[in-house]
Amino acid sequence: MAVDFLKSELKTFSLELTPKINGREDVDFLIRDNQLYLQSINLDTIQCSIKISKQELGELKDNLFITLVLIIDKEPKVVYLIPSKDLTQSNSNIFIENEVSLMPSLSNWEIKVSSNTIPEFAKYDLENMISKLKS
């Protein structure tokens, strides 16, 4: 559902989403030289954050983006494109680094979504970020 919605949204900008070779199904995609890590969050439930394993995401880099699809009223409605390096913003209310020193494999990045944080996501709206995928 989230993948099809993302594909249709990207099509309006003449961009095509392709699965990454050796990537995780429905998670890893490419647009030109950019890698997209797809996550969705269902705001119809009490889910208000997602956690992404640091080990799974890998090294944060300029061409790695977290693509967050918001599901509202059982339908994907909004796409945010978050540069992976933005996860390190310590002054952010939406990105949290959870470090587990005794078990590094459990360390993760957390992205919080709520009515209070939605305004902060505006800059990551697909329309505002599309130029980063085209460059």
pLDDT score recorded for residue 45: 80
Give the pLDDT confidence of 71-96 residue by residue, as tens digits: 989 999 999 999 999 999 867 789 99
pLDDT score recorded for residue 135: 67
Which residues of the chain, if any, have pLDDT below 70? 25-26, 47, 90, 135
pLDDT score recorded for residue 25: 66
d(C-alpha 67, C-alpha 79), whole Å? 7
HSE-CB for 70 with a 13 A CA cutoff: 22
pLDDT score recorded for residue 89: 83
DSSP designation for 43: T
d(C-alpha 92, C-alpha 94), whole Å? 5
Residue ranges covered by each domain of the chain: 2-134
Say what the pTM is: 0.88
Indicate the fold that domain 2-134 takes in CATH.
Trna Endonuclease; Chain: A, domain 1 (3.40.1350)
d(C-alpha 92, C-alpha 79), whole Å? 19
d(C-alpha 2, C-alpha 75), whole Å? 9
